[in-house]
Amino acid sequence: MNRQQFIDRLFAGAKQAGIEECEAYFAGSESFDVDVLDGAIKEYTVSERSGMCFRGVYKGKMGYASTEIEDEEAIDMLIEGVKNNASLLQTNDGESIFEGSENYPEVDTFDDAVPSIPASEKIAASIKMEQLVKAKDKRVLRVEGCGISSSVSNVRIVNSKGLDISGKSTLYAAAVAPIVSDGGNPNFGFELKYSHKACDVDIEQVADKSVDRALEGLGAVSIPSGKYKCVLRNDMAGALLATFAGVFSGESARKGMSLLKGREGEIIASEKLTIIDEPLLKDGLASSSFDAEGVARFTKDIVKDGRFMTLLHNRVTAAELKKTTTANAAKMGYAGKVTVAPTNMYVKPGDISFDEMLSEVGEGILITSLMGMHSGANPISGDFSLGAKGFMIKDGKKAFPVEQITVAGNFFEILKNIRAVASDLEFGRPGLGSIGSPALYVGEISVAGK
């Protein structure tokens, strides 16, 4: 059975079973990863994965079921699953199938070069990157991981209201984690660069930056507990924004889990802060032409000059909170229920350079690493207490590296306390995907050290 036959039979069977309207959401990817050590392949992975999620309205409620195998048995399982799961629901949030937007914007997220680069070339590039790292400084002991990955992904939404749209994207990434030591305790560095386009990934730059970051932390010491003026380096400001991104979600708000519910129009941050969600951003990792419900994407300000403009919505959260959708419907994996997520969300860069920011601070602390985001941050209250590393700032410059400290504060207070926004916006730091920020001077922060 090919995919079109599968869809036809599924939809016909669904109609017969009393499912009023329905949608098939397909997501597939082919990916390649190689990790090298000492000039040889350490790990090599090729993966092909596809899954589909079926959702449909049965007796007024939306049921979900999903499968990774598209056979006869799956059709029955999906239809029964949708009926049973819809019947269990005790709420009706009015979730419905979308008939489609009038126009869809174009996005450029596919690089024809990516699928055609042979494995041998990616292996050679990985080995070269390891050599570059080792050659850069004699304090480099070895790499903990060093490799290239690439993938091609596709999404298709087909529904019983006549919508049939699809999108595809490529990703090319290089990452390396050198371990360095000057005879004392070893230190890690890590650098990752990824892009839709293979030509954007420069392994020499990745290698250089990874070693710089490993070396600069050598000989770090703890500092006395106290309040310090604090700068979050661009990647860490982005990490904090990513950790608390849920406060801007209409889904969190309707569940009573966002303190921003109903506060549109209020000043919630320093006037220096503007946060934008821009799905059509050129080269944005999360750029896409439609959201998980099939609604055409568009750009919006979430916070503008300190004023809270809008929560992010899908069609359900928007209807419930009497707003219109912001085309931020998302799924956590193909099988997930439709929820809300930002696309390329970032803090709008300011005018001063990073160095100028440090001189404005004069004396304080620069945070370059935060640990424990998944455990030490409360996404509802905004409270956080996180392991950190960084540098003392003295006379407006980086003085010496600092480790074994924690920083604690509250996200909402940080937003209000922002004193300066640098111009060095950066996206795509490890694990953060498409959320970005320039460096932020966030006023004073509590530090626990020795």
- Residues composing the chain: 450
d(CA 389, CA 367): 6
Question: What's the distance, Cα to Cα, between the start and end of the chain in Å?
Answer: 66
Nearer to another protein, 42 or 398 (CB): 42
Minimum separation from the CB atom of position 129 to another protein (A): 17
d(CA 238, CA 413): 16
d(CA 298, CA 52): 26
Contact, 253 vs 317, CB < 8 A? yes
Minimum separation from the CB atom of position 237 to another protein (A): 19
Nearer to another protein, 65 or 357 (CB): 65
Nearer to another protein, 211 or 352 (CB): 211
The widest CA-to-CA distance across the chain, in whole angstroms, is 75
Nearer to another protein, 104 or 188 (CB): 188
d(CA 213, CA 208): 9
Minimum separation from the CB atom of position 167 to another protein (A): 21
Nearer to another protein, 337 or 419 (CB): 337
Minimum separation from the CB atom of position 437 to another protein (A): 22
Minimum separation from the CB atom of position 136 to another protein (A): 19
Nearer to another protein, 95 or 278 (CB): 95
Minimum separation from the CB atom of position 44 to another protein (A): 4
Nearer to another protein, 2 or 103 (CB): 2
Minimum separation from the CB atom of position 282 to another protein (A): 32
Nearer to another protein, 353 or 404 (CB): 404
Nearer to another protein, 409 or 428 (CB): 409
3-class secondary structure per residue, the chain = CCHHHHHHHHHHHHHHCCEEEEEEEEEEEEEEEEEEECCEEEEEEEEEEEEEEEEEEECCEEEEEEECCCCHHHHHHHHHHHHHHHHHCCCCCCCCCCCCCCCCCCCCCCCCHHHHCCHHHHHHHHHHHHHHHHHHCCCEEEEEEEEEEEEEEEEEEEECCCCEEEEEEEEEEEEEEEEECCCCCCEECCEEEEECCHHHCCHHHHHHHHHHHHHHCCCCECCCCEEEEEEECHHHHHHHHHHCHHHHEHHHHHCCCCCCCCCCCCECCCCCCCEEECCCCCCCCCCCCECCCCCECCCEEEEECCEECCCECCHHHHHHCCCCCCCCEECCCCCCCCEECCCCEEECCCCECHHHHHHHHCCEEEEEEEECCCCCECCCCCEEEEEEEEEEEECCEEEEEEEEEEEEEEHHHHHHHCCEEECCCECCCCCCCCEEECCEEEEEEEEECC
Nearer to another protein, 252 or 343 (CB): 252
Minimum separation from the CB atom of position 296 to another protein (A): 26
> Per the structure block, which two tokens stand in for 57?
């309205």
Minimum separation from the CB atom of position 420 to another protein (A): 23
Nearer to another protein, 211 or 347 (CB): 211
Minimum separation from the CB atom of position 88 to another protein (A): 4
Minimum separation from the CB atom of position 105 to another protein (A): 31
In 3D, which of 439, 445, 257 has the Cα closest to residue 357?
A: 439
Nearer to another protein, 145 or 167 (CB): 145
Minimum separation from the CB atom of position 50 to another protein (A): 6
